Amino acid sequence: MSRFNGGRHVLPEPEQPAGVVTALGIDEQSEPFEPVRPTAAPEGAPNVVVVVLDDLGFGSSSAFGGPCDMPTADRLAADGLRYTRFHVTALCSPTRQALMTGRNHHSVGMGGTTEMATSAPGYSGFRPRSAATMARILQGNGYSTAAFGKWHQTPPSEISPVGPFDRWPTGEGFDHFYGFMACEMNHWYPLLYQGTTPVEPTRRPEEGYHLSEDLVDHAVDWVRTQRTLTPDRPFFTYLAFGASHAPLHVRKEWRDHYRGRFDHGWDRQRELTLARQKELGVVPQDAELAPWAEEVPHWDELSDDQRALGARFMETFAGFTEHADTQLGRFVDELDELGELENTVIVYLIGDNGASGEGGLEGTLNEHRLGHGLVDDPAEMVGRIDEIGGPTSYPIAPVGWALAQNTPYQWTKQVASHFGGTRDGLVIHWPRGITHGGGLRHQFHHVIDVLPTVLECAGIPAPISVDGVTQKPVEGTSMRYTFDDAAAPDRRRTQYFEMCGNRGIYHEGWTAVTRHGIPWDMVPEAGRSFRDDVWELYDTTTDWSQAHDLAERHPEKLASLRELFLIEAAKYQVFPLDNRVTERENPRIAGRLDLPGDRRSVTYHGRTRRLIEETTPNVKNRSHTVTADVHTDGTLTDGVIVAQGGRFGGWALYCLGGRACYVYNYFGTTSHVLRAEEPMPAGRHEVRMDFTYDGGGLGRGGAVVLTVDDVKVAHGTVDATIPYYFSFDETFDVGVDLGTPVGTDYPTVGNAFTGTVHTVRIDLGEEEGTSEDGGLYRRVMAAQ
């Protein structure tokens, strides 16, 4: 126990009192001075490694009976513990915020993803300072801390070169960060950060680059350095892979490892997975397959093209997943070689929500299309089937495979009402603290229980004050009591769930649930009241998989649980319920701040880089003008003047052989290109693009005029535009197009403007507010 802070309850540790000076010179000093020592971790405190894989279901991994070979998960489970009733929040950011804080996601403002934040307290996207993160607590107790991979917890308006940076990983307790800030990332051409500084990989996919491998390389290097320089200091490593969230990106050999293994389809896969789960004991012998989602076709109802595509999508998903797990194996091997594995607590979340149904009924080669309600034609996709998983694709698998991966449960990611959206496999490995490895634990637990578990293993109390802010109570319950007692009674008796209006309550084995929306319907219809939702009732002490609805047989029980949900939801800031998904990604609709605010004109200097959409003027659904002040070298001038988005949607102003050009890329399927007929002579010029929006709704087309020095050089029309977002992983760049290229006229690499871009100014017209067919604003108002 520290002498100065009453047992680590106040962080950081108060400064130690200085020794008394008793002499004029050091030769006369009678009492020695104590050197200033940093706060030390408790004696024997273990290292901590928290690993998160993305968008896997309970029935995805081989460790829990699924079809994706995951040798590292199997290895850690064989020597550790598998938790069969572990739950998450049904969506990315909320699970991660709950994981890091030990509080329910609405309690810490993360009722949806950061891109879906609103101004409501439970949905603001801002972690309160009264809920310090796991990293900050461990850091304040003498741990070295580092995060690698997906973060997805910083408000988008703060992801820019001007910050603020206190909600970036390095502001939330991590000494080091290497990864990405968004919900997803192109694994071939990622845009990354080191700390708060933008960086790009030094290699390309044709040179063997892949993001999952890169993340582990950096994690291994960091641990080696930490053990070399501070071998007596424990470390906390947070390793959050982008896999297996869309886009499903993996090299052909990993995909081909599964060639033909899914030709039997998703219905048969559910049966095979359930049988394997019973063999492993991760579900009881009497567990049944929960009902199939009626909206989703069975495998034998598909066309030949749909089955061929479906099998290839799942082969890609499985290869992507196995590849990521294998990279984790390299990190575990490194811990073993360093002699650290024995006293390292590894917490492996095999999913941050259920497998994703956001790929819709068909799947897609471009996930952003589905986010806007557009469906790919299987006949067109099958002609590009060999591209799935490669750099020219941005794929996500159809919902049938998500349902199969969530075996034996109902529904998928987003659906917090049913276990298909919230129950994931968890493995905990700690040889020094788990005496009988290879065991199963069937206690009911939730992601908020990870933080108190880690603290108890480390011998560290939850602090009462961090950085001068009194802390709200941790809402999780430590799982440490289960390590030595497989039969220990549950200590978590109640847990609410809510996401996108889908909601449920667990209490002492019973669940009451109601599904409000469909995961692949990203723009839900307005007018359906939450009060009209139909509730279901399940007794999970006898019905493991929520297969038999008892609502009609036990109306009193259902009524009491519905009332309990209201109590819990009010306690944890769940209200008001909000079922919007893609629509909330427009900050004006959602009611949150974006960085430009009300400015209608913004001028950028010539080396502006890496700005996400919420830090730039919103050119969607409105007339706008882009004006560039450039200096050219005549016909020798090539390259990008300004670009936003990438290969799968966006726009760019560029030069080709000295000729001014403009491209509007509609979801990677249609590109509208304007090119001047004559090159600009050498010298300084104003290149201007005027976009006149057609109006009458969202995503409409417009007329484009391209001028050079006030002389019209090209004009044309864009048939339709992207209404909600261009991309989650691409950026706004001046003088270059980073990531993937918007246009095909210029290369992925080496597209920097060969002249000089002095400035680029964007001027905005009025934003579209209503439309003939209902319109975003009208539908949002009707839903309230």
Specify the DSSP class assigned to residue 190: -
Question: What is the C-alpha separation between 779 and 766, in angstroms, rounded?
Answer: 20
Which whole number is the average pLDDT over 288-294? 97
106 Cβ neighbours under 8 A, 6+ residues apart: 122, 123, 498, 569, 572, 573, 574
Helix and strand numbers, DSSP H then E, in the chain: 15, 29
Question: What is the C-alpha separation between 520 and 140, in angstroms, rounded?
Answer: 42
Structure tokens at 396: 């996500």
Let me know if domain 594-779 sits in CATH 2.60.120.200: yes
Chain region(s) in the chain for CATH 2.60.120.200: 594-779
- Radius of gyration (Cα) for the chain, nearest Å? 27
Identity of the residue numbered 141: N
Other Cβ atoms within 10 Å of 304 Cβ, number = 9
Backbone angles phi, psi at 333, to 5 degrees: -60, -40
Q: At what angle do helices 92-101 and 450-458 cross, to 10 degrees?
A: 30
Which whole number is the average pLDDT over 443-470? 98
659 Cβ neighbours under 8 A, 6+ residues apart: 675, 676, 677, 678, 679, 680
* pLDDT above 90 as % of the chain: 89
Backbone angles phi, psi at 496, to 5 degrees: -90, 160
Structure tokens at 639: 């390259």
387 Cβ neighbours under 8 A, 6+ residues apart: 365, 393
* 427: nearest Cα among 95, 83, 54: 83
* 314: nearest Cα among 379, 264, 373: 264
Backbone angles phi, psi at 50, to 5 degrees: -110, 125
Structure tokens at 339: 């002699």
Structure tokens at 15: 């400064």
pLDDT digits (tens, 9 = 90+) for 292-338: 999 999 999 999 999 999 999 999 999 999 999 999 999 999 999 99
pLDDT digits (tens, 9 = 90+) for 545-563: 999 999 999 999 999 999 9
CATH number of 47-485: 3.40.720.10
Other Cβ atoms within 10 Å of 102 Cβ, number = 29
According to the model, what pLDDT value does residue 167 have? Answer: 97
441 Cβ neighbours under 8 A, 6+ residues apart: 81, 82, 83, 84, 479, 482, 486
Helix (H/G/I), strand (E/B), else coil: 684: strand
pLDDT digits (tens, 9 = 90+) for 602-619: 999 999 999 999 999 999
Which whole number is the average pLDDT over 568-590? 90
The tally of CA atoms less than 13 A away on the side-chain side of residue 319 is 26
- C-beta separation of 91 from 414 below 8 A: yes
- C-beta separation of 82 from 282 below 8 A: yes
According to the model, what pLDDT value does residue 679 have? Answer: 97
Give the residues across from 346 on adjacent strands.
49, 429
Question: What is the C-alpha separation between 613 and 159, in angstroms, rounded?
Answer: 10
Q: Is the peptide bond before 12 cis (omega within 30 degrees of 0)?
A: yes
Structure tokens at 269: 């896969």
Decide the pairing of beta strands 81-87 and 445-446: parallel
Chain region(s) in the chain for CATH 3.30.1120.10: 498-585
According to the model, what pLDDT value does residue 495 have? Answer: 98
This prediction's pTM: 0.95
* 675: nearest Cα among 658, 692, 651, 694: 658
Backbone angles phi, psi at 428, to 5 degrees: -120, 130
Structure tokens at 311: 């099998």
- Across 134-248, the runs of DSSP E, i.e. the strands, are 144-150, 176-180, 192-194, 197-199, 235-240
> Is 19 a residue whose pLDDT tops 50?
yes
Decide the pairing of beta strands 235-240 and 47-53: parallel
411: left (phi over 0), alpha (psi -120 to 50) or beta: left
Identity of the residue numbered 418: H
According to the model, what pLDDT value does residue 781 have? Answer: 27
Could you give the dihedral angle defined by the CA atoms of residues 16, 19, 24 and 28, in that order, rounded to the nearest 10 degrees?
-140
> Is 148 a residue whose pLDDT tops 60?
yes
According to the model, what pLDDT value does residue 762 have? Answer: 98
According to the model, what pLDDT value does residue 20 have? Answer: 84
Which whole number is the average pLDDT over 578-582? 89
According to the model, what pLDDT value does residue 775 have? Answer: 37
According to the model, what pLDDT value does residue 240 have? Answer: 98
pLDDT band at 769 (very low <50, low <70, confident <90, very high): low
CATH number of 498-585: 3.30.1120.10
pLDDT digits (tens, 9 = 90+) for 176-225: 999 999 999 999 999 999 999 999 999 999 999 999 999 999 999 999 99
Q: What is the mean pLDDT of the chain?
A: 94
According to the model, what pLDDT value does residue 361 have? Answer: 95
> Is 106 a residue whose pLDDT tops 90?
yes
Q: Which helix (H) or strand (E) holds 689?
A: strand 683-693
For the chain, how many residues are written? 784
According to the model, what pLDDT value does residue 585 have? Answer: 82
At CB < 8 A and 24+ separation, what contacts does 118-124 make? 118/578, 118/584, 118/590, 118/591, 118/592, 119/590, 119/591, 119/592, 120/576, 120/578, 121/573, 122/572, 122/573, 122/574, 122/575, 123/578, 124/592
Q: What is the DSSP string of 72-89?
A: HHHHHHHHSEEEEEEE--
pLDDT digits (tens, 9 = 90+) for 71-83: 999 999 999 999 9
